[in-house]
Structures are given as C-alpha cells and as structure tokens.
Amino acid sequence: MLTVNAEKINALVTRGVDLLDAREPDWWLSINVGTLDVQNSRLCVLGQLYGDYDRGLAHLHLTLREAGAYGFAASTFDELFDRNDAYLGGRASPRSHASLRYRELTGAWRATLEHRRTERGAPLPNYAELHARVLGRAARAA
C-alpha cells in the first residue's frame, strides 16, 4: 500500500500555479476541471493551455525533469510517496504506483482550480470557446 504526502504534492501544484500566474494571469479560466487529467498530454494543465504537454513545456522553458517540480508531471516526485513493506515486497506494481501518483496530482490540481474559481467568483467557462482558444494557441506555437 502507498500513502501520499499531500502537503508536498500541494506545494508542487502551488509552485506550478505561481509560475503560470506570473506568465499568464488568467490561465486558470481556460482549464476544464471536469476533463483535467495530468496523465493525458492534451487534458493536463499544459495540454489544455498550449495544445499539448510538450508545447507547454517549451512555452514555459521547462525541461521534462523540471516539470515535476512544478506539479506538471508525476514522474519526478517518487519521494512524495511513502512505500510500506507490501509495496517494496512486490505486491503492488510500478504501474499502479504511477497511476496513483497521477491520480493524486490530478486531484490536487482540481482542488486548487475549484478553490480559485470559488474564491474569485469566476463564471462557469464556455468550453467551446476555450477549445477554440487552445486550438489557436497550438496553431501559433507550431
């Protein structure tokens, strides 16, 4: 069984939010929280903002290694998960471990975005308009 260090995950997401706020203040209005999935390159935060994960990294001038430090990827923060003997004994697969990491990271992003929308009284987004905006960004980035 794995346990998650939610405090550290939230700190990474906060760091990612701060980076995006500095670059694009209203970025969070473009995220469809309902479809947000950090494990999917088009549905993750960067995918929804820039068309796909790799374009987002390029736009923000981040390496793959740095992405985890901003909560954009789960692959670089194994230290956030405390593994007990059952995991180390091989009864949980590395695939289930990665899946849990992405699920927890997606949950942290969703909670952060929902809190921000509630706190700022943001209207519900027009997802058709947001989709067109993302496609426009992707075309400009290509």
DSSP characters over 8-74? HHHHHHHHHHHHHHHH-TTGGGG--TTT--TTSTTTSHHHHHHSSHHHHHHHHT--HHHHGGGTS-S
CA 15 – CA 46 distance, rounded (Å): 14
Q: What is the CA radius of gyration of the chain?
A: 16
Position 123 scores a pLDDT of 60
* Whether the predicted pLDDT of 9 surpasses 60: yes
CA distances from 49 to 54, 59, 82 (A): 11, 10, 32
Read off the pLDDT of residues 66-86 as tens digits, 9 standing for 90 and up: 999 999 997 654 444 444 433
Type of residue numbered 46? L
Read off the pLDDT of residues 117-139 as tens digits, 9 standing for 90 and up: 888 876 655 555 655 655 565 55
pTM score, whole prediction: 0.72
Read off the pLDDT of residues 11-43 as tens digits, 9 standing for 90 and up: 999 999 999 999 998 999 999 999 999 999 999
Residues in the chain: 142
CB contact at 8 A, 68 and 62: no
**Contact residues for 8 (Cβ-Cβ < 8 A; gap 6+):** 77, 79, 80
What is the torsional sign of CA 82, 85, 89, 95? negative
- Domain spans in the chain, listed from the N-terminal domain onward: 2-141
Instruction: Compute, in degrees rounded to 10, the torsion defined by CA atoms 83, 86, 92, 97.
Output: -10
